[in-house]
Amino acid sequence: AQRVTQPEKLLSVFKGAPVELKCNYSYSGSPELFWYVQYSRQRLQLLLRHISRESIKGFTADLNKGETSFHLKKPFAQEEDSAMYYCAPRYGTSYGKLTFGQGTILTVHP
Amino acid sequence: DAGVTQSPTHLIKTRGQQVTLRCSPKSGHDTVSWYQQALGQGPQFIFQYYEEEERQRGNFPDRFSGHQFPNYSSELNVNALLLGDSALYLCASSRGQGGRELFFGEGSRLTVL
């Protein structure tokens, strides 16, 4: 079965500190990896995807196929980064079928 | 652009009843996916509709069914409701079946008593 593990349900850091949200996925071919974010009182939205190798709001994520990980990182956290973050691989030709992890609630303290 | 809209936002049903949830995709999108999100869990894929047909299905029983209309809007139907069906039901739309970015609605909160 395809599984996604986000080991931390809660993560707290202080403003300006580095942050890393962990994600490990089960190997099945070459999945496409996404991070989705949900800010307070907003709907779930795409943060970034590995295929575009982009940095969004200062966040980056590196796909490590050897460790089957796709950790999300930001060198200097901001209070507005406080949100729920979901790692979501998409396997093969599953198109709209994302497999979401349980999510990590990030709180950035002032 | 209103984005993805879902109705109703909240509803309460009793065990054994049937429910229909509705979704209008973002303008320009033709593909709709449905997800179930139980409390404290990540969304779980139910199915995807494209060109008015169910194209992909997750691990959900036949009590969960859907429909897509020519205007791309979609319905999710759940029959013989169980207490465990209580959840937030999310609709997501994309451009094309392989669209890489899903746009989510705010969800319909279903409570089964």
Interface size A-B, in CB pairs within 8 Å, comes to: 61
The CA distance from A24 to A48, in Å, is: 16
pLDDT tens-place string over residues B55-110: 989 999 999 999 999 999 999 999 999 999 999 999 999 988 777 789 999 999 99
Domain A4-109 CATH class label = mainly beta
Q: In sequence order, what are the beta bridge partners of B110?
A: B11, B87
Query: Do residues A97 and B33 lie in contact, with contact meaning Cβ atoms separated by under 8 Å?
Result: yes
Number of structural domains in chain B? 1
pLDDT at residue A93 greater than cutoff 70: no
- A100 closest CB neighbour out of B4, B43, B97: B43
Share of chain B above pLDDT 70, in %: 99
CB contact under 8 Å between A45 and B103, yes or no, is yes
3-state SS class at B85: helix
- What's the Cα-to-Cα distance from A87 to each of A17, A42, A103, A109, rounded to whole Å? 21, 18, 7, 23
Buried b / exposed e across B54-64, counting CB within 10 Å, b at 16+?
ebbebebeeeb
Interface with chain B: mutation pick from A37, A97, A102, A105, highest number of B CBs within 10 Å: A97
Interface with chain B: mutation pick from A6, A10, A44, A104, highest number of B CBs within 10 Å: A44
Taking CB atoms within 8 Å and a gap of at least 24, the contacts of A47-55 are A47/A72, A47/A85, A48/A72, A49/B100, A49/B101, A51/B100
- A49 closest CB neighbour out of B31, B44, B100: B100
Mean pLDDT value of segment A16-44: 90
Residue B71: give the domain boundaries. Answer: 5-112
pLDDT tens-place string over residues A64-82: 888 889 999 999 999 999 9
- Band of pLDDT at residue A94, cut at 50, 70 and 90: low
pLDDT for the residue numbered A32: 86
Instruction: Say which residue the tokens 């229909």 belong to.
Output: B20
Q: Which two tokens stand for residue B50?
A: 């494209």
Q: Which of A78, A99, A110 shows the shortest CA–CA distance to A5?
A: A99
**What are the residue boundaries of the structural domains of chain A, listed by start?**
4-109
pLDDT at residue A105 greater than cutoff 80: yes
Q: In sequence order, what are the beta bridge partners of A77?
A: none
